C-alpha cells in the first residue's frame, strides 16, 4: 500500500519589535496618559506583544484606552475561528492601559483577575476589531476595569472585567 502525503499551503510571517527596556527609558518622567498618548501617536514604540499578535494602541485619554486589530489566519485556532487568546489579550491590554492613564508616574502593577465573556465568533471576515478599556474604580491598591471588544459596526464580540493589583508607586 502506498501512502498519501499532503502538504498544506504554507504561510510565513515576519515581524520585528523594539527593545522593551529601551522604550521604558524613553518613557521616563511621563505621566501614564502622556505615555499612552505618545504610544498611540507612534512617538513611542508599541509593546512587543502588540507586534507579536498584530494589534495597536490607537487612542488614550484619562481612564480609557483603545486598541485595534485586524483578525488574520495566524490568529486562528484548530476550529477555524480566532483564538480566544487574542480577544483576551486585547481586553487585558485595553483595561490595563486604561488604568495606566490614571497614573501620575510609573507604577508597578499586575492583572489580578480577568473575566471574559465571548458573544460572537471572530474570523478574518469580521474585519477590523476595536477594544475599549475603561477604569471603573482607580483604587490606590486595587483597581477595577471593564472592556468591550466590538467590530467596527459596534457589534459586541466579547466583554470583560478585570482587577488590577497596584504593586508600588
What was the pLDDT predicted at 133? 98
Give residue 101's domain range: 25-168
Asked if 146 contacts 110 with a C-beta cutoff of 8 angstroms, the reply is no
Q: Does a structural domain hold residue 4?
A: no
Strands (E), 10-141: 55-61, 64-69, 108-118, 129-137
- Of 124, 145, 150, whose CA–CA distance to 68 is shortest? 150
Q: Does a structural domain hold residue 116?
A: yes
- Of 32, 33, 63, whose CA–CA distance to 136 is shortest? 63
Q: Does a structural domain hold residue 11?
A: no
Q: CATH code at 33?
A: 3.10.129.10
What was the pLDDT predicted at 3? 61
**Three-state DSSP state, 157:** strand
Q: Does a structural domain hold residue 82?
A: yes
What was the pLDDT predicted at 10? 86
What pTM was estimated for this model as a whole? 0.92
Q: Does a structural domain hold residue 138?
A: yes
pLDDT digits (tens), the chain, 169 positions:
556 555 678 889 998 998 988 888 888 899 999 999 999 999 999 999 999 999 999 999 999 999 999 999 999 999 999 999 999 999 999 999 999 999 988 889 999 999 999 999 999 999 999 999 999 999 999 999 999 999 999 999 999 999 999 998 6
> Which three cell numbers mark 20?
522593551
What was the pLDDT predicted at 105? 84
Q: Does a structural domain hold residue 10?
A: no
d(CA 148, CA 90): 9
Asked if 83 contacts 105 with a C-beta cutoff of 8 angstroms, the reply is no
Q: Does a structural domain hold residue 6?
A: no
Angle at 157 between CA 151 and CA 163, to 5 degrees: 115
Asked if 88 contacts 65 with a C-beta cutoff of 8 angstroms, the reply is no
Q: Does a structural domain hold residue 143?
A: yes
How many domains does the chain divide into?
A: 1
> Which three cell numbers mark 43?
512617538
Distance between first and last Cα of the chain: 69
What was the pLDDT predicted at 156? 98
Residue with cell 459596526: 153
What was the pLDDT predicted at 168? 81
Report DSSP state, residue 33: H
What was the pLDDT predicted at 20? 87
Amino acid at each position: 500500500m502506498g501512502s498519501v502525503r499532503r502538504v498544506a499551503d504554507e504561510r510565513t510571517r515576519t515581524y520585528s519589535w523594539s527593545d522593551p527596556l529601551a522604550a521604558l527609558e524613553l518613557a521616563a518622567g511621563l505621566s501614564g496618559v502622556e505615555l499612552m498618548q505618545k504610544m498611540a501617536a507612534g512617538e513611542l514604540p508599541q509593546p512587543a506583544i502588540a507586534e507579536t499578535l498584530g494589534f495597536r494602541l490607537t487612542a488614550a485619554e484619562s481612564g480609557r484606552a483603545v486598541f485595534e486589530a485586524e483578525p488574520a489566519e495566524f490568529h486562528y485556532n484548530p476550529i477555524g475561528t480566532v483564538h480566544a487568546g487574542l480577544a483576551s489579550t486585547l481586553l487585558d491590554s485595553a483595561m490595563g492601559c486604561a488604568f495606566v492613564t490614571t497614573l501620575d508616574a510609573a507604577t508597578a502593577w499586575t492583572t489580578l483577575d480577568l473575566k471574559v465573556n465571548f458573544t460572537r465568533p471572530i474570523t478574518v471576515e469580521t474585519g477590523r476589531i476595536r477594544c475599549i478599556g475603561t477604569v471603573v474604580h482607580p483604587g490606590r491598591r486595587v483597581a477595577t476595569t471593564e472592556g468591550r471588544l466590538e467590530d467596527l459596526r459596534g457589534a459586541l464580540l466579547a466583554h470583560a472585567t478585570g482587577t488590577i493589583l497596584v504593586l508600588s508607586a
